């Protein structure tokens, strides 16, 4: 009987947080979610056709043959009692309405950046800055591509002061988990600062 009460307490004390995974086409959103998710990640992708080419430019992503048509979903337990639900956002056009729905109640976001095509990050960065949603930029280090430092990426994206930039490998679970931990820490500091100064 005591065990049943203990299980009930564990369930009610568990904290589940929503995190968005955004970024440009081919930056590694689906890869990151699949790498860290402890459940089979749900995917909503279709093969690229010629009609997709103008919106989903494959320059620099020659192996990319699919594109998200809705969203990806996964879950990861960071520690006992703390789990994250991960929602991968589709490309902004024509899915802005999904971004608005997904961002409701989100702890924060990860913007995955392909340093070969940093300009692809601007829509996501602008979206989260405008809505004051805490986010970190995760520079996905692709094999064979030039490696840039966090400061270089921050300057190139004209990030607000204090927005973390993390170098990562979206294929690696530990690397992805570290990105999520950095987001939790950053979001915690941001929310605490807003409680102290609601007008800030």
Q: What is the pLDDT along the chain (200 residues), one digit of tens a residue?
A: 445 554 544 555 689 999 999 999 889 999 999 999 999 877 665 554 444 444 444 444 445 455 545 579 999 998 899 999 999 998 766 678 889 999 999 999 999 999 889 999 999 999 999 999 999 999 999 888 787 899 999 999 999 999 999 999 999 999 999 999 999 999 999 999 999 887 76
Q: Name residue, tokens 């995974």.
A: 21
| pLDDT at site 65 | 52
pTM, two decimal places: 0.81
Please name which of 156, 143, 128 lies closest in space to residue 28, comparing C-alpha atoms.
Answer: 143
| pLDDT at site 53 | 43
Please name which of 115, 124, 152, 148 lies closest in space to residue 21, comparing C-alpha atoms.
Answer: 124
The 3-state DSSP composition of the chain as helix, strand, coil percent (nearest 5) reads 40, 25, 35
Judge contact between 73 and 86, C-beta under 8 A: yes
85, containing H or E segment: strand 82-88
| pLDDT at site 182 | 97
| pLDDT at site 27 | 93
In whole angstroms, how far apart are CA 69 and each of 57, 125, 128? 15, 21, 21
| pLDDT at site 148 | 87
């Amino acid at each position: 009987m005591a065990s049943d009460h203990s299980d009930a307490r564990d369930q009610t004390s568990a904290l589940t947080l929503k995190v968005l995974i955004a970024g440009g086409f081919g930056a590694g959103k689906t890869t990151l979610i699949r790498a860290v998710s402890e459940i089979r990640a749900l995917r909503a992708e279709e093969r690229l056709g010629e009609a997709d080419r103008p919106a989903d430019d494959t320059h620099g992503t020659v192996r990319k043959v699919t594109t998200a048509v809705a969203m990806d979903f996964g879950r990861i337990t960071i520690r006992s009692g703390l789990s994250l639900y991960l929602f991968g956002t589709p490309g902004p056009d024509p899915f802005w309405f999904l971004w608005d729905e997904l961002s409701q109640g989100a702890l924060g976001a990860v913007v995955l950046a392909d340093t070969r095509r940093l300009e692809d990050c601007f829509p996501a960065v602008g979206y989260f800055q405008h809505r004051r949603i805490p986010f970190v930029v995760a520079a996905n280090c692709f094999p064979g591509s030039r490696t840039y430092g966090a400061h270089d990426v921050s300057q190139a994206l004209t990030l607000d002061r204090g927005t973390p930039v993390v170098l990562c490998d979206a294929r690696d679970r530990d690397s992805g988990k570290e990105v999520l931990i950095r987001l939790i820490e950053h979001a915690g500091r941001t929310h605490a600062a807003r409680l102290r100064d609601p007008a800030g």
